[in-house]
Amino acid sequence: MRIGVLALQGAFAEHIAILRQLEVEAMPIRLPQELKNLDGLIIPGGESTSIGKLMLDYQFRDEIGTLAQHELPVWGTCAGMILLAGKNQHASPEPLGVMAITVRRNAFGRQRESFVTELAIPVLGEKPFPGVFIRAPLIESANRNVEILARLDNAGVAARQGKLLATAFHPELTNDFRFHQYFIDIIAGRR
Amino acid sequence: METGTWKVKTGLAQMLKGGVIMDVVSAEQAKIAEAAGACAVMALERVPADIRAAGGVARMADPTVIEAIMKTVSIPVMAKCRIGHFVEAQALEALGVDYIDESEVLTPADESHHVWKHDFKIPFVCGCRDLGEALRRIGEGAAMIRTKGEAGTGNIVEAVRHMRAVTDGIRQLAETPKDELMTKAKELGAPFELVVEVHNTGKLPVVNFAAGGVATPADAALMMQLGADGVFVGSGIFKSKNPEVMAKAIVKATTHFKDPKIIAEVSKNLGEAMPGLDIKQIPTEELLAPRGW
């Protein structure tokens, strides 16, 4: 299994390190031609405007949109979730529009309001998941075909639509690999 | 729900990796930086080259300038306080900036002590010239480190020196036998626990950017190849002939730092870079990097 991690800006090395610990082949993706022959793609946390601009400049947008339509499993964390969304409440960055969710950037405030909390995520089992929220977005609304996997004060913070996955928080900053395993299971067709 | 934890402080720095943090002195400049793909901006009253030229005492920027920039852009906004000036830091925290740079570019307020950064909810970034200095700052609570370089010169030589010194220090520690680590901690003037951590992991416990002298896309890529997690560009953008083009080119070179073809491509037709200064021509008392310890 080969999983690419978009490496334009942000915390891509953290995702790659966890995937390798889970014994999956993982590689950084800096150019669209490197998207070939992947079984899955992660768009990491970082600054969504920076990643969005570089995606535009290096013709990633259509490529990733097409791959997602052809059922390539894609997971976006934080900035990655903003980029996967159908709409975001800010005009910028223009999202890829592959997931039927509307997100709000910096929904909890600035860095002073960044926080950690325990999340109940039923698909990962009973044990709470460590949620690291850094200038995080949230899901304002979602189509009926989107499954909300976790909530915080009623707002969606993790969602799945077919083989697409989005989290407002950063599993790559924790030692709990269950979300990465869940994504691997989606790719393998086990979930 | 817990705010201001070590995890969220160091975590924001992790999100900035592979990116360019640009010095800006106005909301207009901040917009240009954001549009070029900056991952954060540093809100200032003057860029380092102008601070150097103006002389006198350089202080925290006017909060009006910082707030105008915070209102204009959606990316993180950083601001500088003087070394040891914990009240400037408190004021910046009250403004709600996303990161505080306790910076040698401003005139130090305390020549013996840095700010005790663990007391703040806002994370700090601090400059260093070698591993010992980096670990002392982390010990005081810095959640991100940058090599100092020599700000406002457009000359990369000091940034290279400091990055190599940090990397060399890490390499040496990794190879040091356990029973010699305490002596190493004494020599480095660094907290023992952090010395042990670097020995065990072979890397710094926080993100490390390069700063002080980056003036071209190739400079940025050089620092990345030397092991920086990202770059700060101070005067290099808005003191160049064509800031928008230069800013975009430096962003691309930072992402594609291992791709010489892209670096060559983005280096074309940039117009003049900022005027550079030979470090040897600067009187010793005007050097910024030796400020702090």
Q: Which two tokens stand for residue A143?
A: 């189509």
B32 touches chain A (CB under 8 A): no
A71 is catalytic: no
Dist. CA B4–CA B122, nearest whole Å: 6
Put simply, the answer to whether B37 touches A54 (Cβ < 8 Å) is yes
Helices (H) and strands (E) in chain B, counts: 13, 9
Using CB atoms, pick whichever of A8, A78, A92 lies closest to residue B255. Answer: A8
A170 is catalytic: yes
Q: Which residues of chain A are within 8 Å of residue B38 when distances are taken between CB atoms?
A: 50
Q: Which residues of chain A are within 8 Å of residue B251 when distances are taken between CB atoms?
A: 50, 53-54
Using CB atoms, pick whichever of B4, B12, B255 lies closest to residue A54. Answer: B255
Read off the pLDDT of residues A65-120 as tens digits, 9 standing for 90 and up: 999 999 999 999 999 999 999 877 776 778 899 999 999 999 999 999 999 999 99
Put simply, the answer to whether A11 touches B17 (Cβ < 8 Å) is yes
Put simply, the answer to whether B11 touches A134 (Cβ < 8 Å) is yes
- Kindly give the parts of chain A with pLDDT less than 50: none
Mutation for A interface: B10, B12, B14, most A CBs within 10 A: B14
Annotated catalytic residue: which of B7, B9, B80, B258? B80
Put simply, the answer to whether B15 touches A11 (Cβ < 8 Å) is yes
Q: Which residues of chain B are within 8 Å of residue A134 when distances are taken between CB atoms?
A: 8, 11-12, 15
Dist. CA B70–CA B22, nearest whole Å: 14
Confidence (pLDDT) at B204: 98
The closest alpha carbon to A168, from A115, A123, A128, A91, belongs to A115
Confidence (pLDDT) at B187: 98
Put simply, the answer to whether B8 touches A116 (Cβ < 8 Å) is yes
Name the CA dihedral angle for A55, A58, A61, A66, rounded to a multiple of 10 degrees: -140
The alpha carbon of residue B39 is apart from the nearest alpha carbon of chain A, in Å, by 6
Helices (H) and strands (E) in chain A, counts: 5, 12
Binding-face residues of A in 10-69 toward B, CB within 8 A: 10-14, 30, 45-47, 49-50, 53-54, 57
Task: Give the Å distances, CA to CA, from B255 to A11, A80, A168.
Answer: 12, 17, 24
Dist. CA A136–CA A3, nearest whole Å: 24
Put simply, the answer to whether A111 touches B8 (Cβ < 8 Å) is yes
A 10 A CB-CB count for B177 gives 8
Confidence (pLDDT) at B52: 87
Decide: B286 and B52 in contact? Cβ < 8 Å: yes
Dist. CA A76–CA A45, nearest whole Å: 8
- The nearest alpha carbon in chain B to A171 belongs to B11
- Torsion over CA: B131, B135, B141, B144 (sign): positive
* pTM higher than the cut 0.95: yes
What is the three-class DSSP state of A164? strand
B39 touches chain A (CB under 8 A): yes
ipTM confidence score:
0.97
A132 touches chain B (CB under 8 A): yes
The alpha carbon of residue A83 is apart from the nearest alpha carbon of chain B, in Å, by 15
Q: Which residues of chain B are within 8 Å of residue A13 when distances are taken between CB atoms?
A: 17
Q: What is the pLDDT along chain B (293 residues), one digit of tens a residue?
A: 999 999 999 999 999 999 999 999 999 999 999 999 999 999 998 999 999 889 889 999 999 999 999 999 999 999 999 999 999 999 999 999 999 999 999 999 999 999 999 999 999 999 999 999 999 999 999 999 999 999 999 999 999 999 999 999 999 999 999 999 999 999 999 999 999 999 999 999 999 999 999 999 999 999 999 999 999 999 999 999 999 999 999 999 999 999 999 999 999 999 888 989 999 999 999 999 999 98
Confidence (pLDDT) at A76: 98
Domains defined for chain A, CATH in brackets? 2-188 (3.40.50.880)
What is the H or E stretch that residue B207 is in?
strand B207-209
Q: Which residues of chain B are within 8 Å of residue A168 when distances are taken between CB atoms?
A: none
Q: Which residues of chain A are within 8 Å of residue B36 when distances are taken between CB atoms?
A: 53
- The nearest alpha carbon in chain B to A31 belongs to B256
Please, is A144 exposed, middle or buried when counting C-beta atoms within 10 Å of its C-beta (0-12, 13-18, 19+)? exposed
Binding-face residues of B in 234-263 toward A, CB within 8 A: 251-252, 255-256, 259
The closest alpha carbon to B37, from B210, B248, B209, belongs to B248
